[in-house]
Amino acid sequence: MIENSEGQEPSAADRLLPDAAKVFQWRPRPTRELSEDALVALDTNVLAVPYTVSRTSLDAIAGLYRRLRDQGRLRIPGQVAREFAGVREKKLAELQQQIFNHSSKVTKPGRVGKYPLLSGRPQYEAMLEYESTLSQMIDQYQSSVRSVVAEVQAWSWDDPVSAHYQEAFPPSVVVDYHYAEVEVKADATKRKAAGMPPGYKDAGKDDGGIGDLLIWRTLLEIGRKEQRDVLFVTEDEKSDWRHGGSGNTRFELLQEFRRETGGRTIAVISLKAFLQLSGVDEQVVDEVVTTTGTAVPGDRNAEWIRDGSITVVRTDSYYGAFKPLQQTSTEADGTIEYQWWYQPNGSGLFLGPSVITGYGAASETGDTDRNLRIGPWSIQWSKSGPGTGWVYYAAPGLEFQFAVTNFSTVHELGDATKLTFTRRVLT
């Protein structure tokens, strides 16, 4: 414990940076250098990305992991492996629901009916033939959809992503240290009080935000015991890993890692940056960028939403969510009734006493407010069709990110920080 000259408890600033002189005297190794020889540790959200990319990109990413394995540079924290077991099930459930949702929009056309007066006329007979053919094709399509979903449902741990991981992640790359629960919770409490990363942004979670802290402790152990620098690859954009403006690793983390490892360096980077540093094909990087929410293709500035499904909103490391209850659309106007949640403590969980929730309505009629009110945020909405609408990424002074889910309750949703978000890109 650090004490001041009077033997008192250290201040929050002292806890964050106990050896202030090192601010000027020590410099971490550049990330590009680390990419050549440092150990590489992967976060849970990074392991989930391949469930949303093509087989070509999956093969490329898994190939990179195998190369790191063969070089002896790959590490998977035990907490990441445990979290992945749950995230994997959610990703497969989302895949099934997305297939069903898409196929449900394809329906048989209404029958025109029989008109004896037109019988024998070439155009009428051709129309009936096309109608019959179209109906048969839709039956075949729906049958194929059911077969695809049945295949996904039959996957145990032999889905394409898990199969790659079973090869790329032998037991030797999983680093699992065990800590006393009392000790970890005490550390989490101290970090929250001091605003000390990581984990303090997740303090509102059911586990008190110790998931990230367990990962961080494992990274410290890796650096200390192996005396190696570490690249930690994560899609977590909360400011308790990286500075929000620059995206650079939090200086407090750099200094703690240096102190605990005898001068080693850690860098926290995105999957996109890691793939680029590793020389992965740009087409793979582009697909990952789109999937992880680093960008939205083209000039799209809105996200399509549907009744009954929760959409999660993120901005400035805070999370909110809403569920359209009923959206109407006519030629003249559109309306929406919705339920909303807002988490003011920075976590991605919408259960517990800290969550603010309510109901709202908006309309495109005349001068009526067409914005969704979610906690302190105002998000523009517009009609799309019956039961559907659009929400827009940009608002005065804010840029929202969205994760459209297939979940209908916040219990199903779980931890929103693990979701894939999209954002607007100005072109």
What number is the average pLDDT over the span 220-235?
95
What number is the average pLDDT over the span 287-308?
65
Of the listed ranges 13-27, 157-171, 213-227, the one predicted with least confidence: 13-27
Q: What is the pLDDT of residues 149-180, one digit of tens each?
A: 888 888 888 899 999 999 999 999 999 988 88
Please give the mean pLDDT across all residues of the chain: 83
SS3 191: helix
CA distance 63 to 66: 5
Would residue 343 be called left, alpha or beta, if left means φ above 0 and alpha means ψ between -120 and 50 degrees? Answer: beta
pLDDT at 294: 44
pLDDT at 227: 96
Whether the bond between 198 and the residue before it is cis, its omega within 30 degrees of 0, is yes
pLDDT at 368: 58
Phi/psi at 218 (5° precision): -65, -40
Burial class (CB in 10 A: 0-12, 13-18, 19+), 151: exposed
Q: What is the pLDDT of residues 229-253, one digit of tens each?
A: 999 999 887 677 887 655 788 888 9
CA distance 1 to 5: 13
Q: What b/e sequence results for 59-96 when a residue is b if at least 16 CB atoms lie within 10 Å of its CB, and e otherwise?
A: ebbbebbeebbeeebbbbbebbbebbeebbebbbebbe
SS3 372: strand
pLDDT at 12: 55
pLDDT at 427: 39
CA 131 to mean position of chain CA atoms: 43
Angle at 85 between CA 81 and CA 86, to 5 degrees: 125
DSSP at 30: P
pLDDT at 289: 75
Of the listed ranges 91-105, 176-190, 300-314, 402-416, the one predicted with least confidence: 91-105
Q: What is the pLDDT of residues 35-83, one digit of tens each?
A: 999 999 999 999 999 998 899 999 999 999 999 999 999 999 999 999 9
Between 405 and 218, residue with greater pLDDT? 218
Residue 217, Cβ neighbours under 10 Å: how many? 21
pLDDT at 262: 93
pLDDT at 3: 46
Of the listed ranges 149-153, 193-197, 247-251, 337-341, the one predicted with least confidence: 193-197
Query: pLDDT at residue 2 above 70?
Result: no
Query: pLDDT at residue 264 above 90?
Result: yes
pLDDT at 206: 53
Query: pLDDT at residue 100 above 60?
Result: yes
